[in-house]
Amino acid sequence: MSALGDQLRALLPPEAYSLNAAKLTAVLEAEAAALAGATLATDQVASARLPDSGTGLADWERVLALPDPCLVGVSQSTGQRVNAAVSKWKGYAGQSAPFFIAMAKALGYDITITTFRPARAGIARAGDPLNGGDWNWTWRVNAPAVTVIPAVAGVAVAGDPLAAWGNKTLECRLSQLKPAESILLFGYGAS
């Protein structure tokens, strides 16, 4: 008898039932199997409630409208798909530099942000850029020339590459979330 079946048997009053009866054992085992199935289903639902577990990824992608239109047709590993779901799920919080740095980190990229300001008398020095016109609304994301995103055990599935690289996901997501009036540039390598 299973451990759960033994626990159910212990709940029975000993004088009311013959605890060694074959039909009773079969009924208790059937009840134990049903309870075990319900516990497993509950665990699966609990693990799918957040996108970072990878459970229910197809549902999260449907709800969050993934892949993004700028990534349709681009091959992504399961880890990259999970990162995209997490970043989009958390992506409705702000437009500050720390917000965009955290968003890129959720996608697997380490970036810095450079903002530009116009030259001002008393602050600018000889040789500084003037940064007039549209430079007031321009900012640059500085990222490594090559970002390698390794496969994660427990999230990667058969057929996923052991590592993925490329910056299309970073550019797509940040371009979607940038303030409408701003101009976003991407700089790779030395910043």
Residue position matching structure tokens 């958390």: 90
pLDDT digits (tens, 9 = 90+) for 63-121: 888 888 888 888 888 888 888 888 888 766 678 899 999 889 888 899 999 988 877 78
Predicted model pTM: 0.62
The residue extents of the domains of the chain are: 3-47, 51-188
Query: DSSP per residue over 50-76, as a string?
Result: SGGG-TTHHHHHHHTT-S-GGGTT---
Tokens of 51: 């996108």
pLDDT digits (tens, 9 = 90+) for 17-76: 776 788 888 888 999 999 999 988 888 887 777 787 777 888 889 988 888 888 888 888
CA distance 88 to 64: 7
Q: How many CB atoms lie within 10 A of CB 13?
A: 6
Angle at 115 between CA 123 and CA 171, to 5 degrees: 170
Task: Confirm if 41 and 55 have CB atoms less than 8 A apart.
Answer: no
Q: For residue 39, what are the CA distances in angstroms to 27, 42, 43, 148?
A: 18, 5, 6, 38
